[in-house]
Structures are given as structure tokens and as C-alpha cells.
Amino acid sequence: MFTSNPLSLIYWIKAGLGIVVALVCVLIVANLITGIGIALMAYVTSDRIFRQIFINKVDKPSTVTKTGIGVYILTWLFFWALFFTLLNPPA
């Protein structure tokens, strides 16, 4: 699962970050637009941090941004829906 490949590490960290941000969105945010804004800010912030950490380990800085964006969005969306449903069950 975790290898010495920095892109693999970035991928799995972004997947975990999507879960954490989804939980934060469910606990703090009540509407979709604000939740999307928080998820976007978290992604941009993490991307800047990863670029600084992995600048010498990847070919181009844009590779860091592209790696894991899909898994971040999908895990965030899935777990936000899951956590929201668990915390607000239908009547």
C-alpha cells in the first residue's frame, strides 16, 4: 500500500484528507456551497504544503496537484453523504 514512491504517498494522504474534511464539513457546515468551499480550501492548502515537501522528489510541481485529486473529491463526497446520513437519519 505505502511504497517509497512519493506520488503514492501523496495519493493516500489525499484520500485520508478527503475523509477528514468530510467529517469537518458535516460537523460544522449546514449547506452544500460552504462545504464545497471548505473542501476546496483544504485541497489548495494541502497542495501548497505537498509542493513544498515533495518539490525535489517529483518531475514537475503540477504532478503533485494532479495526483490524488479524483480520489480526494470522491472520498470527500462519499463520506460527507455517509456521515450526514448517519448523523441525520430520515424520519
Distance CA 27, CA 81 (A): 12
Read off the pLDDT of residues 19-78 as tens digits, 9 standing for 90 and up: 999 999 999 987 889 999 999 999 999 999 999 998 888 888 888 889 999 999 999 999
Least Cα distance to 39 among 64, 61, 17 occurs for 17
Q: What is the pTM of this model?
A: 0.87
Q: Is residue 89 in a domain?
A: no
Residue 90 lies in a domain: no
Q: List the grid coordinates of 14.
A: 489525499
Range of the domain at 13: 7-83
**Residue 19 maps to a domain:** yes
Domain assignment of residue 1, yes or no = no
Q: Which residues lie closer than 8 Å to 8 by C-beta, 6 or more apart?
A: 2
Number of neighbours of residue 54 by Cβ within 10 angstroms? 17
Domain count, the chain: 1
